């Protein structure tokens, strides 16, 4: 009499293929093995996927910033890794729950704008957004360059600009005008590279921390001044007030203080 095979595995294999038990167990084993392979692949590929997403985000940010006239050269000189963040102007910290791609929808809500008292509204805006997207260039884990959107009123209407500020939060690396309605040949010269070339190296505040930046009435006479434009006094005053407002307590002041504390 043949010895009975007591091996569960052999007994399982000996079952007919039509057996419901065998079909269910085979399906379970195949699913378990496939699930294990998928889990292993996910664990292995996660760092690669994360790196790819980071590279795509970096490329998107760089393309956005380098599309701003004059910024590509400033970035090339500074080096580092560029990132972007939406900040809450009142606190100077990262805006809670508002990503860059959601900023437009957030600012469509009138409740996300702050009315400005005439005495503090140096830039003539009437109200300012509560949240702004800024760009940071990092080198050796430190912020080396800060790109800040600015807006204000000139002689002919609204002026929009991007100010590049060194990591010391006091030295201007450059400024580019992105939109204006100033008089051609006069105030309209603010979009000329020759005038914007006087901004790099200009300091915003003196040793006591007092805001001293200004567009001069003529050639700059100190480290806190940039050249004025002949016949465009009101345009120059508008740029002066725009920079002073946005770099002050009602603009990026709290954010710049957070950078100085090493919170970014």
DSSP assignment letter at 23: H
Which pairs from 114-120 meet CB under 8 Å and 24+ separation?
Answer: 114/89, 114/90, 116/250, 120/250
User: Distance of CA 215 to CAs 23, 36, 87, 200, 231, Å?
Assistant: 83, 66, 28, 13, 13
pLDDT level of residue 57 (50, 70, 90 thresholds): very low
Helices (H), ranges, the chain: 8-13, 20-66, 71-78, 103-107, 193-196, 233-246, 253-260
- Alpha-carbon distance of 113 to 89, in angstroms, equals 11
- What does 214-249 look like in DSSP terms, one character per residue? EE-SSS--STTEE---TT-HHHHHHHHHHHHHHTST
Q: Does 72 have pLDDT greater than 50?
A: yes
Per-residue pLDDT of 17-26, as tens digits, reads: 777 777 777 7
Please give the average per-residue pLDDT across 125-151, as a whole number. Answer: 90
Burial of 203 (0-12, 13-18, 19+ CB in 10 A): middle
Q: What is the dihedral of CA 97, 102, 106, 108, to 10 degrees?
A: -170
Contact (Cβ atoms closer than 8 angstroms) between residue 156 and residue 183: yes
Across 85-101, average pLDDT: 93
* Span 98-124, pLDDT tens digits: 998 899 999 999 999 999 999 999 999
3-state helix, strand, coil in the chain (%, to 5): 40, 25, 40
Model pTM?
0.72
- The Cα–Cα gap between 191 and 33 comes to 64
> d(Cα 201, Cα 223) in Å, to the nearest integer?
8
Cβ within 8 Å of residue 97, ≥6 positions away: none
Cα(258)–Cα(264) distance, rounded to whole angstroms?
A: 7
pLDDT band at 63 (very low <50, low <70, confident <90, very high): low
**Where along the chain do its domains lie?**
9-55, 67-260
Q: Between β-strands 225-226 and 214-215, what pairing exists: parallel, antiparallel or unpaired?
A: parallel
Share of the chain above pLDDT 90, in %: 42
pLDDT at 47 over 50: no
| 128 confidence band (pLDDT: 50, 70, 90) | very high
Q: Which residues contact 87 (CB under 8 A, 6 or more apart)?
A: 93, 94, 95, 131, 132, 133, 134, 255
Stretch among 60-64, 133-137, 236-240 having the lowest mean pLDDT: 60-64
């Amino acid at each position: 009499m043949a010895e009975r095979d007591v091996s569960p595995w052999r007994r399982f294999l000996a079952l007919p293929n039509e057996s419901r038990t065998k079909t269910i167990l085979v399906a379970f084993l195949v699913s378990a093995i496939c699930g294990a392979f998928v889990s292993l692949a996910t664990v292995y590929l996660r760092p690669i996927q994360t790196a790819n997403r980071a590279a795509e985000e970096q490329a998107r940010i760089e393309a956005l910033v380098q599309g701003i006239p004059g910024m590509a050269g400033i970035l090339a000189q500074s080096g580092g890794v560029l990132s972007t963040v939406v900040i809450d102007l009142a606190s100077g910290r990262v805006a809670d729950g508002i990503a860059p791609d959601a900023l437009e929808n957030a600012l469509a809500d009138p409740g996300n704008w702050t009315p400005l008292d005439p005495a503090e509204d140096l830039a003539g805006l009437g109200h300012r957004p509560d949240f702004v997207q800024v760009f940071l260039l990092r080198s050796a884990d430190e912020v080396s360059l800060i790109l800040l959107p600015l807006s204000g009123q000139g002689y002919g209407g609204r002026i929009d600009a991007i100010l590049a500020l060194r990591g010391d939060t006091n030295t201007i690396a450059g400024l580019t005008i992105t939109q204006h309605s100033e008089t051609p040949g006069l105030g309209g010269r603010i979009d000329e590279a020759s005038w914007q070339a006087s901004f790099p190296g200009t300091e915003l505040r003196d040793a006591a921390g007092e805001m001293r930046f200004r567009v001069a009435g003529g050639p700059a006479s100190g480290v806190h001044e940039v050249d004025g434009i002949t016949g465009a006094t009101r345009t120059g005053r508008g740029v002066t007030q725009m920079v002073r407002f946005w770099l002050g307590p009602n603009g990026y002041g709290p954010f710049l203080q957070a950078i100085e504390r090493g919170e970014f």
